[in-house]
Structure 1
Amino acid sequence: MSSAKEVIVIGAGIIGASIVWHLTKAGARVTVISDSGAGGVATPNSFAWINASWGNPEIYFRLRIRAMAEWKRLANELPGLPLAWCGGLCWDLPADRLEAYAAEHACWGYGIERVDAGRAAQIEPNLVEPPEFAVYVAEEGVAEPVAAAKALLAHAERQGARVLSSSVTALVQTDGRIAGVDTSHGLMPAEEVVIAAGVGAPDIAATAGIKLPIETPPGLIVHSQPYKKLLNGLVHAEKLHMRQTAEGRIIAGSDFAGSDPGENPDATARELFAAMKAADGFPIIGRAEGTEGLYVAVMHSGITLAPAVGLFATREILDGERDPLLTPYGLGRFAQ
């Protein structure tokens, strides 16, 4: 890999942090720019579930499975990364749909166990009413998302990356390519700019005439005060999804969160935010076609995908090697 490429990464959430860490490790000169601090906006409000579950076509399932493996690789390379492979107990679909999901994903090799009320009570002894039928995936896990992003950025900074607290006002174009960014601290040149700015990505891309077709619906997720140990892993019940953090806080919601819930949080609490949901529901990862020097990495499932995206983006940015698992997720699939 190149040892000298100058790269600016916009965004310090889990995706940006992973890209910064992988680029720095590969020898690039990296500056990360964020106006919201380590962890960004969506990452602190994520349910932080690492999984390959639910409603995925097989091609996306394969990317998520690879990402789960990359989390384990990353944890080996950066000891102390706050991860827990705690398993997930799920019964948030009608029984026939839950069975269909289990059959499909088991066929793909996902480690799904069908459980009855007795087994569910063994997995989560504090459930008041264990489900009569659920599925359990022991290999699923969680990350403490802000702590993980901070750990990646701190290690990258020790290896030479620069962390700059600033806002990016525009992408700078020279001779038909992106040559840097304009910030509240002035112009900053770069050979490549990576947009990993979550909900702020569309406005930044628009300064270069690039449309990112993403949706950012409002949402709300609840964090309790610390409690004694109540949950062993992830619980996805009919009306509520829950997990317990390392410090004992219960994180709960009816889906997964990420942005400001708006003026009426009670009304939006059940519309929990998809951190970066594209118009077709899948990630946008890759270079912007027709615009040299710009790489885009925005997505829902950022927690799950982060280590794989960081690895794949680094290889593509420095060596021009695009991983086949990213083939469906380029920006070129949308008409600009």
Structure 2
Amino acid sequence: MLDSAAPQVPASPTVIVIGAGIIGASIAWHLARRGAAVTVVATRTGGEATPNSFAWINASWGNPEFYYRLRLRSMREWARLAEDLPALPLQWSGGLCWDLPVGQLEAYAVEHGGWGYDLRPVDRAKSLTIEPNLAEPPEFALFAAEEGAVEPVVAAKLMLGDAFRLGATLLPDVVVEGLVEESGRIVGVRTSDATLRADHVVLAAGSGSLAIATTAGLDLPMSSPPGLIVHSRPHAKILNGLVIAPHLHMRQTSEGRVIAGSDFGGSDPGADPQGVADDLFSAMKAMLRNGDVLELETFTVGHRPTPVDGFPIIGAVDQAPGLYLAVMHSGVTLAPLVGLLAANEIIGGTPDASLAPLRFSRFASGNARLTHGRA
């Protein structure tokens, strides 16, 4: 809920956005489009989690209906964003999915298909027409025709670049040490070099949000589990779209790299990340015909900012007027819609009902908890 006692919002509010990953970039771009005076403060342009994302755009299984609809709406917003930024490296390739037992796949198709998700049952022969380079195609799978992927760092930098064209300011390589509070309201941020002031502060720093929020007395209930993803050297086209198989999710980037994790978030590397990466890359090669031609280029380990119930935390904070939170694991899918709705709420001053279940206030003592499956 937005603070009803907050001062009158000026026609062109000043906003500091902490974080330059896919979420911070989207919020900054949407705010700049609405005429706000935006300053983006970040330790790394492109973010910390964003470069290590599998970058799957979906409204897949495991979501209660309200969250499914939010994700589906954001998939539509990706299409809208591409109209405004035609250079976006966005691919609507569809996804071949069989990472559940057959009974659960069928239940997923009935539920999400009933909600309007385009899921098509396919047999082994049809799977091979979709992905002809699978070494062992599944006997039964679902083809999610609407799903896609984006190259997230390029997308974030494109949004930031256009925001700067519209007048936004970037302060790169800057560490935010804390939030500045005056008379019970957040009025800026403190860095090692200066104190910056604004009408609103947006905290979209991924796993770094936890420490920053603590400086305003807020305990964000979240964790940052690690996820390892392997990246091949660029190769000629070997995959047409997303492959969501048991214990191995993979896709080919616009640069030709085949990337994979043990699930969409990546593998937990444990104490031996190189060994996990080698085993995962071997499994990926074995899943593909002529997969031996692929060469491991690198692996990345990202830390996914994940609230304890799996759902995003989005919106103004009653305990800290002037602060707007945008912390989530499904950042790539949700980025364009979160940017749009956050800008609308900050500039318009009116809460959006579709975000009501995702407020920080849901963690207050006695409040009901949401139930979540897949992010």
Q: State the TM-score, normalized to the length of structure 2.
A: 0.86
Quote how far apart the aligned CAs of 1:264 are: 2.8
Aligned to 1:158: 165
Distance 2:59 2:181 in 1: 38
Q: What are the superposed Cα offsets for residues 109-160 of structure 1, whole Å, 9 maximum, x if unpaired?
A: 0000000001100000111111100000111010100000000000101110
Distance 2:86 2:15 in 1: 26
Q: 1:76 to 1:203 in 2, by over 3 A?
A: same
Aligned to 1:142: 149
- Matched residue type, 1:95: V
Distance 1:77 1:66 in 2: 17
Distance 2:268 2:317 in 1: 28
Residues 229, 267 of structure 2: 8 Å contact kept: no
Quote how far apart the aligned CAs of 1:27 are: 0.2
Residue 86, structure 1, aligned to residue 115, structure 2: no
SS class of match (2:228): coil
Quote how far apart the aligned CAs of 1:258 are: 7.4
Percent identity of equivalent pairs: 60
SS class of match (2:76): helix
Aligned to 2:360: 331
Residues 284, 331 of structure 1: 8 Å contact kept: yes
2:337 to 308, 323, 331: 308
- Matched residue type, 1:212: L
After TM superposition, which residue ranges in structure 1, 4 or more long, deviate above 6 angstroms? 267-270
C-alpha RMSD of matched pairs (Å) = 1.8
Aligned to 1:317: 346
Quote how far apart the aligned CAs of 1:239 are: 2.3
- Matched residue type, 2:250: M
Aligned to 1:33: 41
Q: 1:91 to 1:258 in 2, by over 3 A?
A: closer
- Matched residue type, 1:275: R
Aligned to 1:213: 221
Residue 295, structure 1, aligned to residue 324, structure 2: yes
Quote how far apart the aligned CAs of 1:262 are: 6.1
Q: What are the superposed Cα offsets for residues 173-198 of structure 1, whole Å, 9 maximum, x if unpaired?
A: 01110010001221001110000000
In the TM superposition, 1:85-234 aligns within 5 A as 85-165=92-172, 166-234=174-242
Provide structure 2 residue ranges, at least 5 long, that are not aligned to the other structure.
1-8, 281-300, 366-375
Q: 1:256 to 1:88 in 2, by over 3 A?
A: same
Q: 1:170 to 1:260 in 2, by over 3 A?
A: farther
Distance 1:204 1:225 in 2: 37
SS class of match (1:219): strand
- Matched residue type, 2:235: Y
Residues 311, 328 of structure 2: 8 Å contact kept: yes
- Matched residue type, 2:138: P
Residues 16, 39 of structure 2: 8 Å contact kept: yes
Quote how far apart the aligned CAs of 1:290 are: 2.3
Residues 260, 266 of structure 2: 8 Å contact kept: no
Quote how far apart the aligned CAs of 1:261 are: 4.7
Residues 32, 161 of structure 1: 8 Å contact kept: yes
Residue 255, structure 1, aligned to residue 263, structure 2: yes
Provide structure 1 residue ranges, at least 5 long, that are not aligned to the other structure.
none
Quote how far apart the aligned CAs of 1:275 are: 2.1
Distance 2:348 2:31 in 1: 11
Q: What are the superposed Cα offsets for residues 66-112 of structure 1, whole Å, 9 maximum, x if unpaired?
A: 10011011111111111010100000111111111111110110000
Aligned to 2:25: 17
SS class of match (1:304): helix
Distance 1:277 1:284 in 2: 9
Distance 2:306 2:193 in 1: 30
Residues 88, 141 of structure 1: 8 Å contact kept: yes
Residue 58, structure 1, aligned to residue 87, structure 2: no
In the TM superposition, 1:275-286 aligns within 5 A as 275-286=304-315
SS class of match (2:233): strand
Distance 1:324 1:31 in 2: 27
Distance 1:2 1:252 in 2: 47
- Matched residue type, 1:179: V
Aligned to 1:237: 245
Residues 261, 267 of structure 2: 8 Å contact kept: no
Quote how far apart the aligned CAs of 1:218 are: 1.5
Which structure has the larger Rg? 2
- Matched residue type, 2:63: N
- Matched residue type, 1:191: D
Residues 178, 215 of structure 2: 8 Å contact kept: yes
Quote how far apart the aligned CAs of 1:256 are: 3.0
